[in-house]
Amino acid sequence: MELRSERLIFREFEPKDYSLFSSIFSNETIMKFAYMDQIVNENEMASYFNKVVKNTKNIEKKDSYEFAVFLSSNDYFIGFADILVCYQLSRIKHGEIGYFLLPDYWGKGYATEIAKTLVNTCFVNLNMHKAVASCNANNPQSEKVMQKIGMIKEGELRKERYKNGRWDNELWYGILLEEWGKTCNKDGRIVCDIP
């Protein structure tokens, strides 16, 4: 699957993308508030990357979509984005979105553009009824992105994430198809302008 927004191109990871993938998950600054820890072990990184690449070939009941994100203007790699497909029995329940950007691209609206694109993909391409996202409660920038795209705070899990030698709370946000449609419906279709 390939996605496009106003300024970005999203494509699933290929074997040639190991260094791009590693540049995200080995970066201490990027992983500071992430649920998972920075990956410093080469074998661990290779194992995770191989799992992601293998998943791109799986077309039946896919449980996640992982994307390398590039600027459409110059094809520079700027980050990672994903949708985790949550199933209930044999039906899709909802999608959990996530993203990481290289620090040079922070504060330029790319996170919001990525989040909007992922939510739109959940609803339009994957026929989901809900999209959710979470963040460390100590990461107000990530929370603002969820708010900007119309997500509603659904809860706060106390001491859910262990980061930097302490337990942090985790914030959960969500948006329903009918809520997304109210702001994005054009001629009976759900198509959102991005950003």
CATH H-level, domain 2-190: superfamily: Gcn5-related N-acetyltransferase (GNAT) (3.40.630.30)
Q: Are 111 and 102 in contact (CB under 8 A)?
A: no
Please give the structure tokens belonging to residue 122. Answer: 């959940």
Mean pLDDT score of the chain: 91
Q: What is the pLDDT of residues 33-44, one digit of tens each?
A: 999 999 999 999
Please compute Rg for the chain using Cα positions: 16
Q: What percent of the chain has pLDDT over 70?
A: 93
Read out DSSP for 126-139?
S--SEEEEEEETT-
Domain boundaries, the chain: 2-190
For the entire predicted model, the pTM comes to: 0.91
Find tokens 């809520």 and name the residue: 179
Q: What is the pLDDT of residues 127-185, one digit of tens each?
A: 899 999 999 999 999 999 999 999 999 999 999 999 889 999 999 999 999 999 776 65
